[in-house]
Structures are given as structure tokens and as C-alpha cells.
Amino acid sequence: MLLADVNGSMELAEQVDPEVWPHIVGRLRDKVYAVYSTASERGSTMAVRLNITMDPNLYQRLKRELPAKQISRFINDAVRAHLQPDRATLDAAYKAARKEAWRRDLAADWDVTETEGWPR
């Protein structure tokens, strides 16, 4: 849920036809929702707009070295690479690795060392 207070909206509402006002507010709501929504749509996550502060020289370097319209993707990938994977991603990776035959064979080869010399 997004709650917003549009500065001066009550004064503007008084100047507009009462039947038109809900349509104006609805269009505003739709635009705001489209920009700030993180809701899933058909299985994919919508982007979120974000304002960040960056060194001006670094920003100029990004603009020089990256293709047009690729700064957001670059920043997204860089941040993702520096964060630890979330639990769901790790769980999925471990489950996928468990199904790989070569890993089971390798574990079986080393299994003998796990009990070597230990009383039962």
C-alpha cells in the first residue's frame, strides 16, 4: 500500500468538477504505483526507482565507459555481486548440487576418510 499526500491537492480539488477529480487522482495513483511498485507481475519483479548519491567523477566515468542506458544494470549487477546470496538462492544451489552424480561420487571417495581409525 502506498499512501501519499499531494501538496495542494485539496485546493485543486475545490477548483475541479467533483466527477472529474477521481479520474485525475486515479491517473496520478497509477503513475506513482508504476514507478514505486515492487509487486510481481506475471512472475517477474518490477524495477524500483532509486536515488543515490555518487562522486561526480565516478559518474562521469560510468557514462564514458558504459553503453547508453546501461548504468542501472551495471550498478544492479555490482551490488548483487557484493552481497551474500539470500537463503533461498543458497538452498536452491545446494539442492541442485546434491543431484549431480559427480559430486556424489566424489563424496563417496572421501567417505572412507570420515570413519578411518574411529571406534564404532
Q: How far apart are CA 54 and CA 59, in angstroms?
A: 7
DSSP assignment string, the chain: ------TTHHHHHHHS-TTTHHHHHHHHHHHHHHHH---EETTEEPP--------HHHHHHHHHHS-TT-HHHHHHHHHHHHSPPPHHHHHHHHHHHHT-HHHHHHHHHHHHHHHTT---
Place of cell 475541479: 16
- The model scores a pTM over 0.85: no
Please give the Cα distance from 84 to 93 (Å, whole number).
13
Amino acid at site 47: A
In terms of phi and psi (left: phi > 0; alpha: psi -120 to 50; beta: otherwise), the region of 46 is beta
What's the confidence (pLDDT) of residue 85? 78
**What per-residue confidence (pLDDT) applies to 41?**
46
pLDDT score of 108: 80
Q: What is the mean pLDDT of each run of 10 residues along the chain (120 residues)?
A: 62 80 75 55 65 90 90 88 82 86 81 69
> What pLDDT score was predicted for residue 6?
65
Write down the pLDDT at residue 99: 87
Q: Which residues are paired to 40 by β-bridges?
A: 45
pLDDT at 105: 83
What pLDDT, on the 0 to 100 scale, is given for residue 42? 45
